[in-house]
Amino acid sequence: MCHVCNETMRRNGTTSKGTTRWRCTTCGTSKVFPNVKDNGLEEFLFWLFSKNTQAQASGQTSRSFRNHTARYWDYWPRTPLIGEPHEWIHVDGIHLGRNAVVLIAVDETGMVLGWHTARSESARAWSALFARIAPPRVLVCDGGSGIRKAMRACWPGTRMQRCLFHVFMDVTVLTTRHPQLQAGRQLLDLAHRLLHATTRQRATRWLRDYSAWESRWHERLAETSTYTDGSIQQAHQRLVRARNMLNRRIGEGVLFEFLQPEHDHHDVPWTNNRIESLNARLRDMLRNHRGLSLIRRIKAIHWYCSRHTAHPEPLDHTLEHCWSDQQITDLYQQAWQNQPEQIWALTGIPMKYGTGIQWNEFHT
């Protein structure tokens, strides 16, 4: 990957010493991997961040490249500690499966501030990410679950700006793109207009028009239907859900935080485009190297984030301070063995295998 324009580089002959020379097809930048004591991590990351195959990236066979760089899959780069406060930051999660998500935070320029891997976007997971970043003035997000609770715990003075495009998409999912009812068509039109409410006058007009829509269709949305089993349900459930969702966002004050007077000189964004651009590059990287296991996809994202911070550390320093799989396993094992006996008694889990009560026998 070219360090100037982030485009794919291709082989361009060799030097007089036989070292492969690489050249960017976009800006013409030339790059040579020096034959130093250990440049395996640089070659590994060069392949990981590019579209090249292992043979193309290394100038050798794929098997030789894998043997040479296999040990780097055992490392986890550490998340930096950010002490400098930012005016605003973007956060989002990239899901890699049913039980795996990498939470990422970026600054105003799109540089990565931190990342954290969890099973879901819970408040505890977001708190683990926020704890290593200085509180910003505004947090721009798509409103994932647990964010607001984590903000109250870690950043009590931070304000939230919901991504208006995500709000628009949430409404579209409920109304569909071709609503049959007039109320749905009008609400979809309001959702479209929300994307253009980027001034105080337009935001005020949008709020007024939405209030008029809600008043006009209040009785219609309150209609119910009786089913054959005798249960009574709302007749227009999806429209009611869209209305309730917008009412919550308006009540929370997260739709037009970017228009508050205190942000006039800071240009707080109203969308999550910067981090969505990062997510697109991450998905491209995983697509270029499809077939990686889940744990390696997670590590690939960690490596990408660590090298795309505002001030990435030298590779030697990064590798020296990485966590290894064995270190993490030992820490978990040590924490498991050091649990007090009261915890074992409360949970019913024996301290050692084969020495505790077989709780399943109580059910027979």
Tokens linked to 219: 């009785």
Residue 113's Cβ-count burial label (10 Å; 0-12, 13-18, 19+) is buried
Contact call for residues 210 and 204 (beta carbons, < 8 A): no
- Nearest-angstrom CA–CA distance, 40 and 65: 9
- What does pTM read for this prediction? 0.79
Token pair in block for residue 354: 């084969």
- Number of residues in the chain: 364
CA distances for 80 relative to 133, 187, 276, 318, angstroms: 9, 44, 21, 11
- Residue 10 structure tokens: 């291709």
* Pairing, β 75-76 against β 30-32: unpaired
pLDDT in tens, the chain (364 residues): 566 666 667 778 877 766 777 788 778 777 775 443 456 888 899 999 999 888 888 788 889 888 888 999 999 999 999 988 999 999 999 999 888 999 999 999 889 999 999 999 999 999 999 999 999 999 999 877 789 999 999 999 999 999 999 999 999 999 999 999 999 999 999 999 999 999 999 999 999 999 999 999 999 999 888 887 888 888 899 999 999 999 999 999 999 999 999 888 788 999 998 899 999 999 999 999 999 999 999 999 999 999 999 989 888 888 888 888 888 888 877 777 776 665 555 555 555 444 444 444 444 3
Q: Give the distance between the most distant pair of CA atoms in the chain.
A: 86
Domains of the chain, by residue range, sit at 1-76, 165-263, 324-363
Tokens coding 359? 């709780």
